[in-house]
Amino acid sequence: MGIIRKTKSVKILLNEFSADSTAISVTTLIERLSSEMNKTTVYRILDKLEDDGFLHSFLGKNGHKWYAKCNNCSKSKHYDTHAHFQCLNCGKVDCLTTNFTIPEIPNRRVDVFQLLVQGSCEDCLV
Amino acid sequence: MGIIRKTKSVKILLNEFSADSTAISVTTLIERLSSEMNKTTVYRILDKLEDDGFLHSFLGKNGHKWYAKCNNCSKSKHYDTHAHFQCLNCGKVDCLTTNFTIPEIPNRRVDVFQLLVQGSCEDCLV
DNA sequence: TTTTTTTTTGCAATTTAGTTGCATTATTTT
DNA sequence: AAAATAATGCAACTAAATTGCAAAAAAAAA
């Protein structure tokens, strides 16, 4: 699919991810932008931004969707071999720069994996 | 909370996990046991069996809940340092016996993690 | 065993994330 | 400017999970 038109809504959403590389949950975006666009639009644009390799998505601990900016992704391939870290204290979620390698598993072929790490972030560590 | 009474419904559910150690999704259980108990009961009993350390839960790729038998868990502590493997071919999900160690992450304290690996299981590998 | 207390269950209603169809509006192409 | 195409809003819908409450079942007390 991919983004075709740079509409007002697309620009607003892109802007949300321009600040830092912290991940944002879909529900947060829907609430934050409720006066500017419909939730359906949020879902659809995020979907396309992911297809375009500008964002990538993953599921938080409760199974809800989060999005974050991509660093080295393209239309054809998402480099999702990184983990996501959720701070149990402040709730902030971000991408870890560490690239994980999943060890070989006997008699199985590993295609993809999803790793969500939870703990305390640098700001919340005493 | 924990299990207090060994009711008929509890026995039926325990029985579902007695066979092998393959994980079962909540929706599968609800459908499979629809003639024997209400879905609310399924949710509630699974919840208690997890509290009791008999089952542990995790989220599948779509964010839906799965349960599997515990091996070394107790009421107070779940030894969830293992990954779950979902076969993209047959859909089967099971616990990997390999215990993963998440490497140290600079300036962060890691408390828990969730690792879902997807690929091809031993039965589905040619 | 019978009565009383407490827990469990079923049912219906509710919540919430996410999706879909369709008419309207905006953007791009001609 | 007109025509073609894509994006948006809205309402309705789907599905997983939760909640309140009355009825039923299990355990404890008598």
- pLDDT at A97 (0 to 100): 80
Domain annotation for chain A: domains and CATH numbers: 8-119 (1.10.10.10)
The 3 state secondary structure assigned to chain A is CCCCCCCHHHHHHHHHCCCCCECEEHHHHHHHCCCCCCHHHHHHHHHHHHHCCCEEEEECCCCCEEEEECCCCCCCCCCCCEEEEEECCCCCEEEEEEECCCCCCCCCEEEEEEEEEEEECCCCCC
pLDDT digit string (tens) for chain A, length 126 residues: 466 788 999 999 999 998 777 899 999 999 999 999 999 999 999 999 999 889 999 999 889 999 999 776 655 565 557 889 999 888 899 888 877 877 788 889 998 889 999 999 999 987
Chain B residue closest in CA terms to A64: B63
Q: Which of A124, A97, A63, A87 is nearest to B110 (CA)?
A: A87
The reply to whether the CB atom of residue B72 sits less than 7 A from any atom in nucleic acid chain D is no
Residues of B with Cβ-Cβ distance to A64 under 8 angstroms:
63
A13-52: string of b/e by CB count within 10 Å (b at 16+)? bbeebeeeeebbbbeebbeebeeebeeebbeebbebbbeb
Instruction: Report the pLDDT value the prediction gives residue B1, as an integer from 0 to 100.
Output: 43
Q: Do A122 and B108 touch (CB under 8 A)?
A: yes
Tell me which residues of chain B have a pLDDT lower than 70. Answer: 1-4, 72-80
The predicted structure's pLDDT at residue A13? 96
64-123 on A, CB < 7 Å from strand D: none
pLDDT at B98: 75
